Chains A and B, each alone.
Chain A
Amino acid sequence: MTRRQQPTAWLMLAPVLIVVLGAIGYPLLRTLYLSFTDSRLTGLSQVPKWVGLGNYQHALSSPDFQAAAWHTAYFVLVSVGLELILGVLVALLLNQKFVGRALVRLLLIVPLALPTIVNAMMWRWIYNPEFGAFNALLTQLHLIGDYRSWLGEPGLAMNMVIVADVWKNYPIITLVVLAALQFIPKELLEAAAIDGAGAWTRFWRITWPGILAALSVAMVLRTIEAVKVFDIIYVMTRGGPADSTKTLSFLVYQEGFSFLRLGSAAAYAYLVVLVSVLLIGLYIVLLRRQERAT
């Protein structure tokens, strides 16, 4: 770059940097500061006291936080895991030749484009304990005797939320994998088949390495999203029953906006950020590797 172009380069970057520093950087630092104080969200202007790591110590030893961390981990592992498995399987299916393939691929857009809140509301209605379609279907098929409260039983609710989340989000993985599959040379697969490699061998030796890079980027991105999970929980269960679906984001929301304890809410939030930053780092490393490869 010539010296003369430097000012233009920075001038062009300025607006985005102002947004990033002002609306993300500053709040991020401000939250960090709050997490070391006992600030409260009240009308009274009281001077917040510095409490050092007190909020963090309290958070890590609090059963509420530990439970929420476990619920979040469970949600992330199970939903992203299922999305990966389903996503790849459906992509392999849609990579076969059959009548109407283009139409079925188009259908994948429906869950994907359905707004998150509408998805949550739709499944809540399907799971309705008195009139829900899920209960009706299972009883009419004689699979269950009586209607059940799918979102009302602590051991069950989280799994039902996960089903709703997976239904909406696995098509992302499918579309990404489908795109990657187009770059695998057909000749390679055919040659391997002629050499006597079975379908299983061909998948693990040729297809899997071909989709791995795109799949891992998509997986980390889904994980980052799943760690933040809030919307679907808010509409489907509000963290219940018996707090069994209360995730970290929901805990921060309650601590800050229901109990008005900003200090400890900020500490909870920062513990979520810590996990996210590790994932974001991983995402960027994978992305850079893939950018260089293509």
Chain B
Amino acid sequence: MSPKTLRGVQTSLLYLSVLVLVVSILAPVVWLLISSVSSTNALTTVPLRWIPDALDFSRYKALLSQEPSGFGETFLYALRNSLGAAFGATTISLLVAIPAAYSFSRFGRIGLLYGVLATYMIPPVALILPLYGILAALGLLNTVWGLALVYCTILSPFVTWLLKTNFDAVPVELEEAAAIDGLGRWATLLRITLPLALPALSTATIWAILLSWDEFFYALLFTANQNAKTLPVTIADFAAGRAVDYGLICAAGVLAAFPPILIGFLLQRGLLSGLTAGSVKG
């Protein structure tokens, strides 16, 4: 084989592998999308015709309209609860984690930092029974607030770790200059360090929101009805229902998946730095 044909074979193999990869990533998701806009009739025909004759957007309309006691009402409540829990937990976690991360970065105590990080990885099954008791005692079972508080146990150690590595990159000299000008520690953090660490702060925010959006175990056990059930729990409910419209479940899935995927696309760089809790400098 001449070097030229060898190169040709290599290039075709490369593009073939890329094609296989792209199809393997897209096929399941595209099928989810197609299912969500196919009529139930088309979906339950055997042999299956892959491309529907007509697009049917009625599920999206049903899910996004507030018809009393319909799927839409359930779904919209779940959306509200998911947003509430995610933003509530993220706000509290940031408030808790920012000073802690700064303290770890500037005053040390790395051993303690690793201890905090370790708690984030403790299996929830080991905490779930007492947490249930605590929430019950506080009257926070089946509330979005209760869920937001519980999510802080996951988010605040994680965010602390993520921010600490990024605060490390802010030059100490700047802060020393501020100190000479008479700025205290808290003022330095607020006016000098935080503005400089703004990209890291947005990464941490995004990760916190994504983690809460995805959470299922606590939400399943600590919520009982549309007062607090989140999107993952509601979708699991839909999927477990007896008389199911597969297209409807798929449409709910698409709607729940849309925000995190969009965020992921927009912030792909930031996403990476959180992947292994700061083990890769993204």
B41 CB to nearest chain A CB (Å): 11
**B264 and A262 within 8 A (CB):** no
Binding site for B on A (CB under 8 A): 1, 5, 8-13, 15-17, 19-20, 23-28, 30-31, 34, 41, 90, 93, 96, 98, 100, 104-118, 121-126, 128, 130-131, 133, 136, 139-140, 147, 167, 172, 175-176, 179-180, 214, 217-218, 221, 224, 227-228, 230-231, 234-235, 248-249, 252-253, 256-257, 262, 265-266, 268-270, 272-273, 276, 280, 283-284, 287-288, 290, 294
Assembled-state Cα–Cα distance A290/B276 (Å): 12
With A276-B123, A294-B281 known, 11 other A-B pairs at CB within 8 A are: A24-B119, A115-B213, A117-B232, A126-B28, A130-B46, A131-B48, A133-B31, A136-B46, A175-B275, A269-B123, A269-B125
Assembled-state Cα–Cα distance A76/B181 (Å): 55
Q: What residues on A are CB-neighbors of B271 within 8 Å?
A: 109, 112-113
Assembled-state Cα–Cα distance A11/B107 (Å): 12
**A125 and B116 within 8 A (CB):** no
**A123 and B100 within 8 A (CB):** no
B96 at the interface (CB under 8 A from A): yes
- Of A107, A115, A265, A284, most buried by chain B (CB within 10 Å of CB) is A115
- Of B124, B128, B134, B185, most buried by chain A (CB within 10 Å of CB) is B128
B253 at the interface (CB under 8 A from A): yes
Assembled-state Cα–Cα distance A283/B279 (Å): 10
B77 at the interface (CB under 8 A from A): no
**B100 and A121 within 8 A (CB):** no
| Contact of A98 with B18 at beta-carbon distance under 8 Å, contacts A109-B268, A234-B220 already known | yes
Q: What residues on A are CB-neighbors of B152 within 8 Å?
A: 19, 23
Q: Nearest residue in B to A103 (C-beta to C-beta)?
A: B22
Assembled-state Cα–Cα distance A96/B48 (Å): 38
Q: What residues on A are CB-neighbors of B18 within 8 Å?
A: 93, 98, 100, 104
**B203-247 at interface with A (beta carbon < 8 Å):** 210, 213-214, 216-217, 220-221, 231-232, 235-236, 239-240, 246
**A176 and B130 within 8 A (CB):** no
Q: What residues on B are CB-neighbors of A107 within 8 Å?
A: 22, 25-26
> Nearest 6 pairs between A and B by C-beta?
A113-B264, A136-B48, A27-B130, A12-B103, A12-B99, A16-B100
Taking a contact as CB atoms closer than 8 A, the residue among B47, B100, B186, B279 that contacts A140 in the complex is B47
B63 at the interface (CB under 8 A from A): no
The interface-forming segment of B1-9, B66-74, B153-161, B169-177 is: B153-161
Q: What residues on B are CB-neighbors of A31 within 8 Å?
A: 126-127, 129-130
Q: What residues on B are CB-neighbors of A294 within 8 Å?
A: 281
Chain B residues with a Cβ closer than 8 Å to the other chain, count: 95
B122 at the interface (CB under 8 A from A): yes
Q: What residues on B are CB-neighbors of A234 within 8 Å?
A: 216, 220, 236
**B96 and A27 within 8 A (CB):** no
**B109-160 at interface with A (beta carbon < 8 Å):** 109, 112, 114-119, 121-131, 133-134, 149-150, 152-153, 156-157, 160
Assembled-state Cα–Cα distance A131/B186 (Å): 61
**B44 and A27 within 8 A (CB):** no
Assembled-state Cα–Cα distance A230/B122 (Å): 14
**B127 and A28 within 8 A (CB):** yes
Q: What residues on B are CB-neighbors of A175 within 8 Å?
A: 272, 275
Q: What residues on B are CB-neighbors of A249 within 8 Å?
A: 123, 125, 217
Q: What residues on A are CB-neighbors of B115 within 8 Å?
A: 20
Q: What residues on B are CB-neighbors of A266 within 8 Å?
A: 129
| Contact of A113 with B210 at beta-carbon distance under 8 Å, contacts A131-B44, A218-B279, A294-B281 already known | yes
Assembled-state Cα–Cα distance A27/B130 (Å): 5
Q: What residues on B are CB-neighbors of A221 within 8 Å?
A: 276-277, 279
23 pairs, A vs B, C-beta closer than 8 Å: A12-B102, A13-B104, A19-B153, A28-B122, A30-B133, A104-B18, A109-B265, A110-B25, A110-B264, A112-B271, A113-B260, A114-B257, A114-B260, A133-B31, A175-B272, A176-B280, A214-B280, A221-B277, A224-B121, A228-B124, A230-B216, A249-B123, A252-B128
Q: What residues on B are CB-neighbors of A104 within 8 Å?
A: 18, 21-22
Q: Nearest residue in B to A31 (C-beta to C-beta)?
A: B126
B278 CB to nearest chain A CB (Å): 8
Q: Nearest residue in A to B100 (C-beta to C-beta)?
A: A16
Q: What residues on A are CB-neighbors of B256 within 8 Å?
A: 115, 117-118
B100 CB to nearest chain A CB (Å): 4
| Contact of A27 with B253 at beta-carbon distance under 8 Å, contacts A109-B261, A109-B264, A117-B232 already known | no
Q: Nearest residue in A to B232 (C-beta to C-beta)?
A: A117
Assembled-state Cα–Cα distance A237/B10 (Å): 42
**A230 and B275 within 8 A (CB):** no
B263 at the interface (CB under 8 A from A): yes
Assembled-state Cα–Cα distance A41/B132 (Å): 11
**A19 and B96 within 8 A (CB):** yes
Assembled-state Cα–Cα distance A36/B221 (Å): 23
Assembled-state Cα–Cα distance A276/B97 (Å): 24
**B276 and A218 within 8 A (CB):** yes
**A118 and B235 within 8 A (CB):** yes
A139 CB to nearest chain B CB (Å): 7
**A13 and B235 within 8 A (CB):** no
A147 CB to nearest chain B CB (Å): 8
